[in-house]
Amino acid sequence: MIPSFKPRIQRIIWICAGVLCLAATSHADPLTQSFLDGIRYYQEGNFEQAVAEFEKVTDAGVQNGRLYYNLGNAYLRSNQLGRAILWYERALELIPEDPDLKFNHAYALSRTKDERPDRGPSLIRILFFWKFLLNPTLIRRIALAMNLIFWSAVLVRLIRGKKVLKTSIYLLLFIALIFTGTAAYNYYEDTYIREGIILPEQVSVRSGLTEGATELFVLHAGTKIRVEKEKDGFVRIYFSEGKIGWIQKGQVGII
Amino acid sequence: MAGRLKLLTLVFLLLIPGALHAEDVEVQASVDRTQVAVGESLQLKVSIRGGDGTVDVSAIQDFDIISRGSATNINMSNGRFSRENAYTYVLMPLRRGESTIPPLPVQSGGTVVRTRPISVTVTPRSEPDRAEGREVFVEAGISNEAPYEGEQIVYSFRVYQRVQIANPRFQEPNFKGFTAKRLEDQRTFTTVVDSREYHVIELNFILLSLGSGVHPIEPAILNCKVIHSGSRRRNFSDPFFGLNRGGFETRRFATEPVTVDVRPLPPYHGEGRFSGLVGAFDIESQIETDELKEGDSATLSIHIQGIGNVMDAEEPAVQVPDAFKVYKDAPEETVRLEPTGYTGRKVFRMALVPMKPGIYQLDPVSLVYFDTDREDYVQEFTRPLQLTVTPAEEKDQLAVVTPSLTAVTPRKDQVVFTGRDILPLKEDLDGLKTARPMSGGWFLLFLMIPPAVFGLTKTALVLSRKTDSPSRRMAERSEKALREAAANEAAGEAFYACLYRAVISAVLARADTYGETLTYSEVRSILSNRSCSPEVIDHALGLLETIESARFGGRIMDGEDRRGLLSETRGLVKSLNR
């Protein structure tokens, strides 16, 4: 009698725990519920609904790279390449080193139609290679670390004597200045240089602020452009050297 | 006999000008008929009597001047000679209806005389000439009236003749909106039209449209002399450009205009990149060898061949593994102009040099072109190629006998994608937490913390040093100099400098003041003022003298002496700092 009693007790405990978990899930806050619903819809193949649920979370002001990644996936599955790349780009600003994100972003880029402007080895890219090689978060961290090490060395020198760590301090100062300057420029870029993604399947870039203006060239969904100015419901975009024009504001998603 | 006749003629001609009376220049223009059908010619004659003159026919706009000639007639009437210069022009009407030969200016001497205008009625071609009565006629046609943009079409100009023609002058139309290339070989054949046998000469042009839209092609013109059937029988063996003298009529034949409606290519939504080729093509790849050694080269050739604008083919995208260096060659183009159009091949070659051993797969190369028969885009692929690259020094390695090494090294293949898809969602609830990147303000704050700490530390140190008395600082300096002297015992000059600084600092510590050097009298004065015993004062002065004489006087001290001096100094400093 006693031996059969223990497993039964254990089973009851497990069932109670499961019920409690279910109850906890069913009474989750609305954002959590939307997030979980988004995942469920995605896994069921209802990608449009998954997009709607994930966007409820982003609309509530949540800024998270993993959430943006999920949203990018849902858009990609629902064949909205432009919006998928837009959300991947937004995610890259938050979790630039995430391998899944980099993989899916590369896959989405492979499906775009417009050839990216030539980004071959220019003098700027060679001279400031670290700016293009390292992501802004890493540059920021290196700048702070080098700054800390530099001032620590200066402090040691102050306490221990003037002849200590002389060469090392100059070297540390140089590196700290380089990375601090790069981080400052990255902040400037984030603040003043707006980039966007073409959202519709195909967009005519025109010479003026009307639909009747001359079509200069055509861009396709997912193409990254720079937004230079905004006027009367149109934005002036820069694609590459010499390829500038106007498109409707709603046709571009700001990263 | 003949020579004498020539001499008489020459004398006669030389005498004529003198025999001619001076008279007024009279100019007259006339035509052989004032009604002419389209395609028929008329003859204009401008006669100048009583002098020489030049005729300006540039004012004639309604006619094409086919040929021109001149003759001089000398007449004798009532014992008087008169001379007439006659200029004859064969004119071909350019349009139907009433046409005018305007007054033509004739310049003779210093005066300009004008002919009277002549009206000519140009009638449509008569029915018998259009139908079974035709002995010569022309027509033009195209192989496709509604080609696609970039599709090649053939424009044919045919001359049907039952009689011989001579001096043909073909005026090809201005193929506006096309690039046109004439086939060098003309085609000749015999055909039956309306139960009559004709010899046909066909000239062909290959046209490639420059853009979509409706492009009219103007009539082609043939000017020639038609040999009257009564004067000479038709001879099929006589070539088109043969010349025959006899009774003839100058004629102008024009084809009907042709209109080509060039259709734009439909939008392309396929996967690969559209090559721009329109026609029928195929693509194939060849590799010189599929087994080679590391560092050797193999030539990969991509052949694009077919009918159409093959010359416009761009280099297809070839995915070569990273382990290869690629050296591209200039493309080779072999394009022929045949009656069906451009046909040929374009070959792109590249040398592949493997840098690492292994087995490599070259993905199929695709070609997207517009098939004019299917009226749709077609994507063709080459077959996949496999390359086996062996190590460059394989034979040498075998010769050195490293069997165990080669036996255990597994052959490695490059990992390639066999399918493409995205990775799954991130299901952690971490995705609900806002995680913004560090803001500029926070970055600046973190940046400022270390210098702030440094500043505070330095301030604290400065403040703490201000509380130190000179006596204590100099005593510390004295101790420090002793430690340095101990460390530099074998270093000579530095050793004595440290001992000197230790003694002087100790003396200054007693005086509670800062300084670097002192004279003997100052040392004596300080120590005596600080209640030092005369023995200590003498000891200090003696020690200073010993140190300075060793330092500056070149007094040689061995290790034992230096250790003794250091010990003595340490004792003095200790007693002074007490």
| Chain-centre distance for alpha carbon B487 | 75
Q: Flag whether residue B269 sits within 8 Å of chain A, measured between CB atoms.
A: no
* CB-CB under 8 Å, A144 with B422: no
- Interface residue A186 vs chain B (CB under 8 A): no
| A-to-B residue pairs, Cβ atoms closer than 8 angstroms | 92
**Backbone angles phi and psi of B126, in degrees to 5:** -70, 150
Q: What digits encode the pLDDT tens for the residues B67-117?
A: 788 888 777 766 667 778 888 888 888 888 888 899 998 887 778 888 889
Among A192-196, A198-202, B225-229, B343-347, the minimum mean pLDDT is found in B225-229
Residue B65 vs residues B91, B227, B233, B247: alpha-carbon distances, Å = 5, 20, 28, 20
Q: Which of A78-82, A108-112, A164-168 has the lowest mean pLDDT?
A: A164-168
> With an 8 Å Cβ cutoff, is A34 touching chain B?
no
B257-269 tens-digit pLDDT: 888 999 988 888 8
**CATH code for the part of the protein at B127-262:** 2.60.40
The terminus-to-terminus CA distance of chain A in angstroms comes to 67
Q: Do A31 and B431 touch (CB under 8 A)?
A: no
Question: Is B290 in contact with B387 (CB distance < 8 Å)?
Answer: yes
- C-alpha pair distances (Å), B361 with each of B78, B292, B348, B470: 107, 14, 19, 83
Distance CA B468, CA B298 (A): 83
User: Do residues B231 and B179 make contact, with C-beta atoms less than 8 angstroms apart?
Assistant: no
This complex has an ipTM of 0.76
CB proximity A25 to B under 8 Å: no
Angle value at C-alpha B417, between B416 and B421, nearest 5 degrees: 165
The closest alpha carbon to B206, from B78, B109, B336, B322, belongs to B336
Q: Kindly report the backbone phi and psi dihedral angles of residue B271, in degrees, each rounded to the nearest multiple of 5, phi listed first.
A: -80, -50
Residues of A in contact with B319 (CB under 8 A): none
Which amino acid type is present at position A158? L
Helix (H, G, I), strand (E, B) or coil at A69: helix
β partners of residue B140 = B157
Q: Average of pLDDT values for B363-374?
A: 88
Kindly state whether A180 is in contact with chain B, defined as any CB-CB distance less than 8 angstroms: yes
Residue B345 has pLDDT above 80, yes or no: yes
* Distance from the A96 Cα atom to the nearest Cα atom in chain B, whole angstroms: 11
Report, at the CATH architecture level, how domain A194-254 is classified: Roll (2.30)
**pLDDT for residue A153 is more than 70:** yes
Strands (E), B317-442: 324-328, 332-338, 341-354, 358-362, 366-371, 376-381, 385-390
d(CA B150, CA B372): 10
Residue of A nearest to B417 (CA): A107
Does B431 lie at the interface with A, CB-CB under 8 angstroms?
A: yes
Q: What is the pLDDT of residues A166-214, one digit of tens each?
A: 788 889 999 999 999 999 999 998 888 899 999 999 999 999 888 888 8
Per-range mean pLDDT, top range of A83-97, A164-178, B13-27, B505-519: A83-97
The model's confidence at residue B128, banded by pLDDT at 50, 70 and 90, is very low
Shortest CB distance from A31 goes to which of B426, B432, B436?
B432
Give pLDDT tens digits for B177-220: 888 888 888 888 888 888 788 889 988 999 988 888 888 888 88
pTM: 0.41
Boundaries of every domain in chain B: 18-123, 127-262, 282-390, 470-577
With CB atoms and an 8 Å threshold, state whether B433 touches A137.
Answer: no
Smallest CA–CA distance from B440 into chain A, residue: A187
**CB distance from B434 to chain A under 8 Å?**
yes
Tell me if the domain spanning B282-390 has CATH number 3.40.50.2300. no
CB contact under 8 A, B454 and A154: yes
Measured CA to CA, the distance from residue B405 to residue A63 in angstroms comes to 55
Is B450 in contact with A63 (Cβ distance < 8 A)?
no
- Per residue in B547-570, pLDDT (tens digit) is 888 888 777 778 888 888 889 999
Q: How far is CA A109 from CA A102, A106, A205, in A?
A: 10, 5, 21
Q: Where are the domains of chain A?
A: 2-110, 123-192, 194-254
B146-184: per-residue pLDDT in tens?
999 888 899 999 998 888 888 888 888 888 888 888 888
- Name the residue of chain B whose CA is nearest to A34's CA: B432
Read off the pLDDT of residues B512-554 as tens digits, 9 standing for 90 and up. 888 888 888 889 899 888 888 888 899 999 999 888 888 887 7
Homologous superfamily in CATH for domain A2-110: Tetratricopeptide repeat domain (1.25.40.10)
Domain B18-123 CATH assignment equals 2.60.40.1510: yes
Cα distances from B437 to residues A94, A96, A132, A162, B263, in angstroms, run: 6, 11, 18, 39, 54
Find the residue in A nearest to B429 (Cα).
A32
The CA radius of gyration of chain A, in Å to the nearest whole number, is: 26
B442 touches chain A (CB under 8 A): no
Question: How confident is the model at residue B411, as a pLDDT?
Answer: 63
Query: What's residue A248's pLDDT?
Result: 93
Place of tokens 């050296």: B327
Answer whether A159 touches B (CB < 8 Å).
yes
The superfamily (CATH) of domain B470-577 is: Nucleotidyltransferases  domain 2 (1.20.120.330)
Contact between B427 and A103 using a beta-carbon 8 Å cutoff? no
- Mean pLDDT rounded to a whole number for chain B: 81
What residues of chain A lie within 8 A of the CB of B447, using their CB?
Answer: 143-144, 147, 180
First to last CA, chain B: 163
Kindly report the CA angle at A63 between A61 and A69, in degrees rounded to 5? 125
